[in-house]
Amino acid sequence: DAGITQSPRHKVTETGTPVTLRCHQTENHRYMYWYRQDPGHGLRLIHYSYGVKDTDKGEVSDGYSVSRSKTEDFLLTLESATSSQTSVYFCAISDREIGSNQPQHFGDGTRLSIL
């Protein structure tokens, strides 16, 4: 299995509080992704990174920000959590960009509940 660690694995918090999720990889892959998984929607891309300090928005980026100060760490922040952000969050990595016929490798997810 690819060395991807997501933390925390579970979190319960209240509306309006800031939340930061961490993705740590030991594969030295350049590309990292944050997805959320909700029933009936599959996985939807929130943000992705194509290198240190290089990030871009995905299709559901509103309310989220990311940072990547080191190759191995990709942080997802909810500045002021809302109940609609209750979801399971997955980090994925890849050593090649999209279009290079390479798969992505996923962490085991963070289950986030916002009350």
Partner 1 sequence: SQQGEEDPQALSIQEGENATMNCSYKTSINNLQWYRQNSGRGLVHLILIRSNEREKHSGRLRVTLDTSKKSSSLLITASRAADTASYFCATDGTGRRALTFGSGTRLQVQP
Binding to partner 1 (CB under 8 A): which residues in 37-96? 40-45, 48, 56, 58, 90, 92
14 DSSP 8-state letter: -
Question: Minimum distance between the CB of residue 108 and partner 1, rounded to whole angstroms?
Answer: 5
Residues in contact with partner 1, counted by CB under 8 A, come to a total of: 25
- Binder among 7, 26, 83, 108 for partner 1 (CB under 8 A): 108
- Is 24 near partner 1 (CB under 8 A)? no
Structure tokens at 65: 């920000």
- Is 104 near partner 1 (CB under 8 A)? yes
Judged by CB, which is closer to partner 1: 53, or 101? 101
Nearest to 28 by CA among 114, 108, 94, 100: 94
| Cβ–Cβ < 8 Å for 104, 2 | no
Judged by CB, which is closer to partner 1: 14, or 59? 59
**3 state SS of 84:** helix
- Is 109 near partner 1 (CB under 8 A)? yes
**Residues whose CB is less than 8 angstroms from the CB of residue 100 and which lie 6 or more positions away in sequence, other chains included:** none
